[in-house]
Structure 1
Amino acid sequence: MRARAAGILLNAQREVLLMRRCKEGRISATLPGSGIEEGETPAQACVRELLEGVNLVVDVHEEVLTPENQDNREHGFGGAWRNGPQGVRHSEENWYNPEWVSVDDLDAVSLVPAELRPLIRTLLETA
């Protein structure tokens, strides 16, 4: 099983930062993050991946989820960004776009894993 670290970043407009992804013609969305490298803690990987993936420096808070998604174990962390613009990474076959998504629009997004929806809603309600 592959371990993945992801950030759950919320803003004052009741939005969560998601990565929209197109792979093999299918569009989905997930929390920004990626694989944990050897010697890294999940929290360290979350910080590194958010800097690499969306060019945000974050302060990681507590780990709030660890769902299994296909062959991945997700480690999701709440956090707050400190600086840096959103980054965008593209290729011909695949593209990634960071996007703020309103809690009201979560059902319209093909979120992977889908079990994140209630957690994101709960976090937004308590933020």
Structure 2
Amino acid sequence: MRARAVGILFNEQQDVLLMRRRKEGRVYATLPGGGIEEGETPAQACARELLEEVNLEVDVLEEVLTLENQGNQEHYFRVVWRSGEMRLGDGPEGVRHSEQNWYNPEWVSVDDLDGVNLVPAELHPLIRTMLENA
């Protein structure tokens, strides 16, 4: 089992940050995050992954969900934007980005979430609840 750390970030307009993906013919979206490295806590990995993937420094707040997804244990955190300009970062996603393996970070209105193939599907109600309780 691989452990992952994932950040849930809203902007001032209450849009959520998603990573749009195209891989092996599939088009879908995820929340930004990735593998936890040896010696890292899940919260530390979350902050590192957001910097690598979307060029944003964040403060990691509370863990809001832990789930098993496709053999991975995933830790989901509420995060807040500290600094940086949102763009595809300089981490592995930026290096691997190609026409066949495509990454595109973007802000998506929570009202438009039903039209997004967000994986895993359990995230739709979590994101809505987090926004309502913000």
Where on the TM-score scale, by shorter chain, does this alignment land: which range? over 0.9
Provide Cα deviations, 1:41-69, integer angstroms capped at 9, x if missing partner. 00000010000000000000000011211
Q: Structure 1 unaligned runs (5+)?
A: none
TM-score under structure 1 normalisation?
Answer: 0.96
2:99 alignment partner AA: E
1:69 alignment partner AA: N
* Matched residue, 1:95: 102
* Matched residue, 1:113: 120
Provide Cα deviations, 1:76-97, integer angstroms capped at 9, x if missing partner. 1101111111122322320111
TM-align CA RMSD: 0.9
- What secondary structure is seen at the aligned counterpart in 2 of 1:105? helix
- What secondary structure is seen at the aligned counterpart in 2 of 1:92? coil
Q: Aligned pair count? A: 127
- What secondary structure is seen at the aligned counterpart in 1 of 2:51? helix
Identical aligned residues as a percent:
75
User: Following superposition of structure 1 onto structure 2, how do residues 1-127 of structure 1 map, counting pairs within 5 Å?
Assistant: 1-88=1-88, 89=94, 90-127=97-134
Deviation at 1:117, TM superposition (A): 0.5
1:120 alignment partner AA: I
TM-score under structure 2 normalisation?
Answer: 0.91
2:129 alignment partner AA: T
